[in-house]
Amino acid sequence: MKNRHGFPENFLWGGAVAANQCEGAWNEDGKGMVLAEIDHNTQGDTKGLAFPVRDASYLAYYKNNTEMYFPKRHGVDFYHTYKEDLALLKEMGFKCFRTSINWARIFPNGDDAQPNAKGVEFYDNLIAEIRANGMEPVITISHYELPVDLVERVGGWHNKAFNDAFIRYAKFVVERWHAQVKYWVVINQINLSEIMPFEALGIWQEEGHNLWQDYYQAIHHQLVACAEVKKFAKQYPDCMIGTMNADMGAYAKTSDPDDVVATLKHNRMNYFYTDVAFRGAYPGYMLRYFEENDIHLEISEEEECLLAENTLDFCGISYYFSLCKDKTCTIRQESTVENPYLKASAWGWAIDPKGFYNCISQYYDRYEVPIFILENGFGAHDTVENGEIHDPYRVDYLKQHIEQMREAVKDGAEVLGYCMWSPFDIVSASSSQMSKRYGFIYVDYDDLGQGTGERIRKDSFYWYQKVIESNGENLD
Ligand code: BG6
């Protein structure tokens, strides 16, 4: 037996993006529209996760709006600049690169009889280029790229027909790229749909209707889809199929047992998704919750067997902040209290490196499956001074988080890799701003898409280069 003193030699250092936030080219080469492309800038509201109420009429209105600026239709033009961008990541020494496939590039309406050849060709080229630059591709099959046409025709993910279309698309991409892609993430942050049911699931609150009924039916379908993909991928033994949670772990605000129990109940609601993925069955606390909240899911015996026989291979995690709860809070993610020990980013996200150690340890101790850090990063306003960007705040954040990840690794947690979010600036998922920047590489666009698109290396670029070169030993 050997102690782990640091990161293993084959540790996958890299970064992550999502197609809908960077590719742009939203209506090129036969692509269909996806829900994210009607998101618009929540300017003036830079605090928290600012999602206004979104429903069918919102969708109908904005999808045909040609006057407003919809940032995710343009991204940072990665569709055309991917070669140049990947070359910069190679320069930093990236060992892996995570991105998503945009469903509507492959099947523009979600369930077309034939795949769109141009869309397939784009991902053939992109995946080949990632590999040619010495990086392991990590591919997300669904990252808020729900085809609008499918949502309008069959309804959201709570409809079985929607899930059937997704499974067909997912199997298509795994079959096509199994030889080039080892790591697959079926659904981005499966637990986070709770705060964004429209973007992630195509569902919304209707009067007199229990949203949570649709929500958990949609989640059940996603859990089934993950198991279906795993079952399908068994013919490709090199492929690893993962699930992914956004860590929404909370601390109890005090040792008052009522605060502690309220926190436990919240935390369980977040582990539910990974409990099913790794234990292969619905936990008792969830069945009780359904019963007491008038939620009646359609779950067939066949699906129960599928879940039991196809548990997943790795646990993907994104971590940005921690939450804090007391007895006044509900089990929902948005119901939190301030943690007096932590400072927050300009967007109100509590900065908590030790929470990262806590998060990795909790997941590893609970399931003992490989962990893959699929996102961690710091959104900030950057300023360009004489063509340079000095971003010590980003380096500080990442350094402290990597240190804590190393602590978890020293405890024995098996961590496959670390994808910082996002190596080059892209459009923010929650606020659709460009000015919430995460990158090591500055991209010259503003919130309204004005700019040259020029890529500029920030100070943090050179810092991460050293981190990778030293396999996480040199963090200064
Ligand atoms: C994760 C998402 O929740 O957080 C990404 O998977 C997102 O899509 C990232 O971009 C950072 O959040 P935001 O809202 O600051 O872009």
Other CB atoms closer than 10 Å to residue 68's CB: what's the count? 10
pLDDT band at 79 (very low <50, low <70, confident <90, very high): very high
Ligand 1 binding pocket (C-beta < 6 A) is 18, 21, 188-189, 192, 246, 318, 375, 379, 421, 428-430, 436
Positive or negative, the Cα torsion across 199, 15, 270, 188? positive
Contacts 24+ apart (CB under 8 A), 336-341: 336/250, 337/253, 339/251, 339/253
Other CB atoms closer than 10 Å to residue 249's CB: what's the count? 20
Report which residue type is found at 251. Y
pLDDT band at 2 (very low <50, low <70, confident <90, very high): low
Nearest CA to ligand 1 atom 10: 429
Spacing of C-alpha 398 from chain mean position? 18
Dihedral through CA 349, CA 354, CA 359, CA 365, nearest 10?
-170
Other CB atoms closer than 10 Å to residue 465's CB: what's the count? 16
Q: Which residues 6+ apart lie within 8 Å of 439 measured at CB?
A: 422, 423, 424, 425, 426, 458
Chain segment 34-51, per-residue pLDDT in tens: 999 988 765 544 333 344
Nearest CA to ligand 1 atom 8: 429
What atom in ligand 1 is closest to the CA of residue 49?
A: 14
- What per-residue confidence (pLDDT) applies to 64? 87
Structure tokens at 132: 């040619």
Q: Which of 144, 321, 428 to mutate to test the pocket of ligand 1 (most atoms within 8 A of CB)?
A: 428
**Distance from residue 216's CA to the centre of ligand 1 (Å):** 22
Q: Which of 421, 435, 438 to mutate to test the pocket of ligand 1 (most atoms within 8 A of CB)?
A: 421
- What per-residue confidence (pLDDT) applies to 112? 98
Structure tokens at 55: 């429903």
The number of residues in the chain equals: 476
- CA dist., res. 244 & res. 316, Å (int): 4
Q: For tokens 């030790």, what's the residue?
A: 354
Q: Which of 430, 432, 436 to mutate to test the pocket of ligand 1 (most atoms within 8 A of CB)?
A: 430
pLDDT band at 52 (very low <50, low <70, confident <90, very high): low
Q: Strands 441-443, 455-457: parallel, antiparallel or unpaired by DSSP?
A: antiparallel
* Averaged pLDDT for residues 43-68: 66
Other CB atoms closer than 10 Å to residue 199's CB: what's the count? 22
From residue 294, give the alpha-carbon distance in Å to each of 178, 223, 288. Answer: 41, 21, 10
* Averaged pLDDT for residues 306-319: 98
- What per-residue confidence (pLDDT) applies to 242? 98
- What per-residue confidence (pLDDT) applies to 279? 98
- In 3D space, the residue among 143, 187, 192 whose CA is nearest the CA of residue 333 turns out to be 192
Q: For tokens 């967007």, what's the residue?
A: 347
- In 3D space, the residue among 172, 51, 176 whose CA is nearest the CA of residue 125 turns out to be 176
Other CB atoms closer than 10 Å to residue 84's CB: what's the count? 11
Whole-number average pLDDT of the chain: 95
**Distance from residue 266's CA to the centre of ligand 1 (Å):** 21
Other CB atoms closer than 10 Å to residue 208's CB: what's the count? 5
- CA dist., res. 469 & res. 476, Å (int): 13
Q: Which of 21, 49, 375 to mutate to test the pocket of ligand 1 (most atoms within 8 A of CB)?
A: 375
* Averaged pLDDT for residues 252-267: 97
pTM of the model: 0.96
* Averaged pLDDT for residues 1-18: 89
Other CB atoms closer than 10 Å to residue 67's CB: what's the count? 4
Collapsed DSSP state (helix, strand, coil) of residue 449:
coil
- CA dist., res. 354 & res. 408, Å (int): 10
- What per-residue confidence (pLDDT) applies to 136? 98
- What per-residue confidence (pLDDT) applies to 53? 65
Q: At what angle do helices 211-233 and 257-279 cross, to 10 degrees?
A: 40
DSSP per-residue letters across 249-268: -EEESSS-HHHHHHHHHHHH
- CA dist., res. 418 & res. 114, Å (int): 36
Nearest CA to ligand 1 atom 16: 428
**Distance from residue 196's CA to the centre of ligand 1 (Å):** 12
**Distance from residue 252's CA to the centre of ligand 1 (Å):** 25
Nearest CA to ligand 1 atom 2: 429
- What per-residue confidence (pLDDT) applies to 343? 95
Question: Which is more confidently placed, 121 or 62?
Answer: 121
Chain segment 196-239, per-residue pLDDT in tens: 999 999 998 887 888 999 999 999 999 999 999 999 999 999 99
Q: At what angle do helices 353-367 and 392-410 cross, to 10 degrees?
A: 30
Nearest CA to ligand 1 atom 5: 429
Q: DSSP character for 158?
A: T
pLDDT at 373 over 90: yes
- CA dist., res. 129 & res. 123, Å (int): 9
**Distance from residue 223's CA to the centre of ligand 1 (Å):** 21
Chain segment 410-441, per-residue pLDDT in tens: 999 999 999 999 999 999 998 899 999 999 99
- What per-residue confidence (pLDDT) applies to 173? 98
- What per-residue confidence (pLDDT) applies to 409? 97
Contact 261, 252 (CB under 8 A): no
Torsions phi, psi of 328, nearest 5? -80, -10
Percent of the chain as helix, strand, coil, to the nearest 5? 40, 15, 45
**Distance from residue 189's CA to the centre of ligand 1 (Å):** 10
- What per-residue confidence (pLDDT) applies to 452? 98
What atom in ligand 1 is closest to the CA of residue 18?
A: 8
Contact 186, 145 (CB under 8 A): no
Report which residue type is found at 21. Q
pLDDT at 328 over 60: yes
